[in-house]
Chains A and B, each alone.
Chain A
């Protein structure tokens, strides 16, 4: 009964805030923020985190509720915007769109860029709204689960993410994806490590103390190879056949409604785990979609679900990552960490009392997310049409422009010339990896998560006094361990072999009984 009452009160508050939002100023701010967010998402090198960071400074003088409109608008726009460049030019605009490249770009090459973009947009909006609903009603419950994540769980989650991504992203052999993931982990180990503060592989270069930054690396491994490949081509435009085939969208959405709920839950769940974020969420959802799809083997050649799953999950992770932020002051993802910083600059100190002392904040943020996803749907439609047209430009002209934008984006973020050296150095390496069929996505995910895996593994061992059982003796960590083990076993064909042995022995038994 009590529960129903809070339920009703939340709905009432939420609708009140959603209606109160409508003012010319708010609508204009949200429109501008979502457009800027989408542009940040589209441009490789600029991401949701960077967008929120930049706008934290811009909104410093604004009132808090206006600042929140801008920051959430940028956040929602940027996470969605990454999919546009992933689909159109095979360079994920943000790390969270890396999984969208696989089937999204394949669809674009088949002339279905329009369909892929529409699917990504609708999936993103539905994901965002799903995240919003869970945020509105289940914040206390999800917080209680998320806080149970300790070092072993973080370690396994990072490994699981890299494994899934590695086995999905590789064009031929899954082992190549894992090798790329290991290379990423190796690169993540550069710099001052978290446990003892010692430097590894820095060769005395102070620029490497804080490790290899991942923004220049996304450009080096996703951007440079695509640009070089385009220059080697015959100057054709990517999708000269944009919009040639128009598939009706509604039936695709309808048959995937259950999937959307599942991918949304994956997004919210992984988003809510402190500090992990939408990158892993997208890959886990992609893996889930591929496993359950009747034509799972065709993933990577342009399956609609391959676009919808990661886009639902990475946008659902927005609501997820705000859950522990509002309930405990703990950000669930890197962009949410920036959001936390922005709140603190505005004199709000998120913590366990925030939602008690500002009871309106959860429905208020919920309302902003609702409006953000509406604007995302509309702006996305207009912007993608414009950008699809851009693709009619021959690649030999388009890609150098994209190259310049990439490099400017890298430099503009931290103004560090050393990052340019990194982009070009690793860009050459990235090109050859790409030619040999080693996918970039697991490498980048390894780079992002490698440090986490390393530090949490050693922290877990420190806390269990070196006892390796400490890594698997809790329910959640054991489940994650099993998931990792099964992923490896499955890829190595062990599962099939065991199944074969079982059926054989059953067959033998049956014949004996007879």
Chain B
């Protein structure tokens, strides 16, 4: 008996050594172990909710667990650098948003050309006013901005952030001037609108949709290239319809939520992850979430996503420089000026 056991032990030992020695190429294909998603902002924000939602759906497809954790800080740079400094093997993924387009000028993480993007979609920008405001259409609003002695006050989620830039793009297209009032996030900006501290707010449709449904806030225009239905106000026109000559401005910069991986992750890994990503974005549950949060689904990856990210990075970076916020000059980083 003892002898038999000894033989079994020996066999196990030999097998174990053989298993260790075998090269990773002959191992099972990606993924063999759990994938870690690091979300670069705090719990409960858009990037976090979407990363967790997609991860749960992708788990089933990939057959491993996808563990989401949050590492906010340095405008997303802390999370990005954690993923960047881990092995570029597809087991460390960044849960990200369009804030990543500022990595270069903020000097916190590598620029867009060094990443791969998996873009699920995003909520369109909107300019909204208090329900008791005297403007019922965007034409009234622009007219008032032109005639009023005091500038119309527009709240946004932070200087140089996406919704601030959207409001600046709109005022340039309309040829008027607003007073931009930055808050610490869209939530406080909307609160200020409800308390009538500001006349309007620039934020995402998803952030304001409940107040629109509740009749407290009226959306006037979607600061994108497409219009959107918002109950109970009907179809809200798009800024590109109103100012077709400036449509490109509104096209190249928008909110997105999704994942990022270093560009030098093996291509077959990117492909496997990407296929699961595609399925998760097309899942009925995702469509349901998108409807509730007023998100337009895109499901972009590969070259398409990269081209879009590069265009967006160039708009975002040069805007940042113009507002005096860039820590690093986009020209130095090799980011071309937007056409």
By a beta-carbon cutoff of 8 Å, the part of chain A in contact with chain B is 53, 56-57, 60, 147-151, 192, 194-199, 206-207, 209-210, 274-275, 328-331, 337-338, 340-342, 344-345, 347, 349-354, 356, 414-416, 455, 459, 462-463
Task: Give the distance to chain A from B92, nearest Cβ to Cβ, in Å.
Answer: 13
Q: Which of A338, A344, A356 contacts B49 (CB 8 A)?
A: A344
B160 within 8 A of A: yes
Q: Given the known A-B contacts A195-B159, A341-B45, A455-B184, are A147 and B195 also in contact in the complex, defined by CB atoms under 8 Å?
A: yes
> Which 5 residue pairs spanning A and B have beta carbons closest together?
A341-B44, A351-B210, A352-B214, A197-B159, A150-B197
Q: Which of A206, A209, A331, A352 contacts B216 (CB 8 A)?
A: A352
* Residues of B within 8 A of A (CB-CB), count: 54
Apart from A275-B188, A331-B187, 12 more pairs, CB < 8 Å: A57-B43, A194-B158, A194-B184, A195-B159, A196-B159, A209-B77, A328-B191, A330-B194, A337-B187, A352-B214, A414-B72, A416-B71
Which residues from chain B contact A331 at a C-beta distance below 8 Å? 187
Q: List 12 A-B contacts (CB under 8 A).
A: A57-B43, A60-B52, A148-B195, A197-B182, A206-B106, A209-B74, A210-B73, A330-B191, A347-B292, A351-B209, A352-B215, A415-B71
Which residues from chain B contact A57 at a C-beta distance below 8 Å? 43, 52, 68-69
> Scoring B residues 152 to 187 as 1 if CB is less than 8 Å from chain A, else 0, what string do you get?
010000111100000000000000000101111001
> Are B182 and A194 touching (Cβ within 8 A)?
yes
Complexed CA–CA distance, A338 and B43 (Å) = 7
By a beta-carbon cutoff of 8 Å, the part of chain B in contact with chain A is 42-45, 48-49, 52, 56, 68-75, 77-78, 106-108, 153, 158-161, 179, 181-184, 187-188, 190-192, 194-195, 197-198, 209-211, 213-216, 289, 292-293, 323-325, 327
> Are B197 and A53 touching (Cβ within 8 A)?
no
Complexed CA–CA distance, A312 and B292 (Å) = 39
> Are A344 and B44 touching (Cβ within 8 A)?
yes
Which residues from chain B contact A195 at a C-beta distance below 8 Å? 159, 182
> Are A349 and B181 touching (Cβ within 8 A)?
no
Complexed CA–CA distance, A448 and B325 (Å) = 25
Complexed CA–CA distance, A331 and B292 (Å) = 20
User: Taking CB as reference atom, which chain A residue is nearest B109?
Assistant: A206
Which residues from chain B contact A194 at a C-beta distance below 8 Å? 158-159, 182-184
Q: Given the known A-B contacts A147-B191, A197-B159, are A463 and B197 also in contact in the complex, defined by CB atoms under 8 Å?
A: yes
Complexed CA–CA distance, A253 and B175 (Å) = 66
> Are B210 and A349 touching (Cβ within 8 A)?
yes
Complexed CA–CA distance, A57 and B42 (Å) = 12
Complexed CA–CA distance, A338 and B42 (Å) = 9
> Are B191 and A274 touching (Cβ within 8 A)?
yes
Which residues from chain B contact A338 at a C-beta distance below 8 Å? 43-44
> Are B71 and A340 touching (Cβ within 8 A)?
no
> Are A349 and B292 touching (Cβ within 8 A)?
yes
> Are A462 and B181 touching (Cβ within 8 A)?
yes
Q: Which of B44, B159, B191, B211 contacts A352 (CB 8 A)?
A: B211
Q: Given the known A-B contacts A207-B74, A353-B210, A459-B181, are A341 and B188 also in contact in the complex, defined by CB atoms under 8 Å?
A: no
User: Taking CB as reference atom, which chain B residue is nearest A154?
Assistant: B188
> Are A274 and B188 touching (Cβ within 8 A)?
yes
Which residues from chain A contact B45 at a C-beta distance below 8 Å? 341
Which residues from chain A contact B48 at a C-beta distance below 8 Å? 341, 345
Q: Which of A147, A210, A350, A353 contacts B72 (CB 8 A)?
A: A210
User: Taking CB as reference atom, which chain B residue is nearest A152?
Assistant: B197
Task: Give the distance to chain B from A3, nearest Cβ to Cβ, in Å.
Answer: 22
Which residues from chain B contact A415 at a C-beta distance below 8 Å? 71
Which residues from chain B contact A350 at a C-beta distance below 8 Å? 210
Which residues from chain A contact B75 at a C-beta distance below 8 Å? 192, 209-210
Task: Give the distance to chain B from A212, nearest Cβ to Cβ, in Å.
Answer: 12
Complexed CA–CA distance, A206 and B56 (Å) = 32
Among B49, B106, B197, B292, residue most surrounded by chain A Cβ atoms (within 10 Å):
B197
Complexed CA–CA distance, A206 and B102 (Å) = 14
Which residues from chain B contact A198 at a C-beta distance below 8 Å? 324-325
Among B52, B108, B184, residue most surrounded by chain A Cβ atoms (within 10 Å):
B184
Complexed CA–CA distance, A60 and B107 (Å) = 34
Q: Which of B190, B213, B289 contacts A353 (CB 8 A)?
A: B213
Q: Given the known A-B contacts A210-B72, A274-B188, A353-B210, are A462 and B44 also in contact in the complex, defined by CB atoms under 8 Å?
A: no
Which residues from chain B contact A329 at a C-beta distance below 8 Å? 210-211
Task: Give the distance to chain B from A246, nearest Cβ to Cβ, in Å.
Answer: 43
Task: Give the distance to chain B from A170, nearest Cβ to Cβ, in Å.
Answer: 30
User: Taking CB as reference atom, which chain A residue is nearest B38?
Assistant: A415
Complexed CA–CA distance, A150 and B192 (Å) = 7
> Are A56 and B191 touching (Cβ within 8 A)?
no
> Are B181 and A207 touching (Cβ within 8 A)?
no
Which residues from chain A contact B78 at a C-beta distance below 8 Å? 207, 414, 416
Complexed CA–CA distance, A353 and B208 (Å) = 12
> Are A206 and B72 touching (Cβ within 8 A)?
no
User: Taking CB as reference atom, which chain B residue is nearest A209?
Assistant: B74
Complexed CA–CA distance, A328 and B42 (Å) = 21
Task: Give the distance to chain B from A261, nearest Cβ to Cβ, in Å.
Answer: 28
Complexed CA–CA distance, A455 and B189 (Å) = 13
Which residues from chain A contact B323 at a C-beta distance below 8 Å? 197
Q: Which of B77, B183, B210 contacts A206 (CB 8 A)?
A: B77
Which residues from chain A contact B69 at a C-beta distance below 8 Å? 57
Which residues from chain B contact A340 at a C-beta distance below 8 Å? 44
Task: Give the distance to chain B from A308, nearest Cβ to Cβ, in Å.
Answer: 32
Which residues from chain A contact B214 at a C-beta distance below 8 Å? 351-353, 356
Task: Give the distance to chain B from A67, nearest Cβ to Cβ, in Å.
Answer: 13
Task: Give the distance to chain B from A75, nearest Cβ to Cβ, in Å.
Answer: 15
Q: Given the known A-B contacts A338-B44, A416-B73, A455-B184, are A197 and B325 also in contact in the complex, defined by CB atoms under 8 Å?
A: yes
Which residues from chain A contact B181 at a C-beta distance below 8 Å? 459, 462-463
> Are A342 and B211 touching (Cβ within 8 A)?
no
Task: Give the distance to chain B from A333, nearest Cβ to Cβ, in Å.
Answer: 13
Task: Give the distance to chain A from B233, nearest Cβ to Cβ, in Å.
Answer: 15
Q: Given the known A-B contacts A194-B158, A210-B72, A353-B210, are A56 and B43 also in contact in the complex, defined by CB atoms under 8 Å?
A: yes
Complexed CA–CA distance, A209 and B160 (Å) = 15
> Are A462 and B179 touching (Cβ within 8 A)?
yes
User: Taking CB as reference atom, which chain B residue is nearest A357?
Assistant: B213
> Are B108 and A206 touching (Cβ within 8 A)?
yes
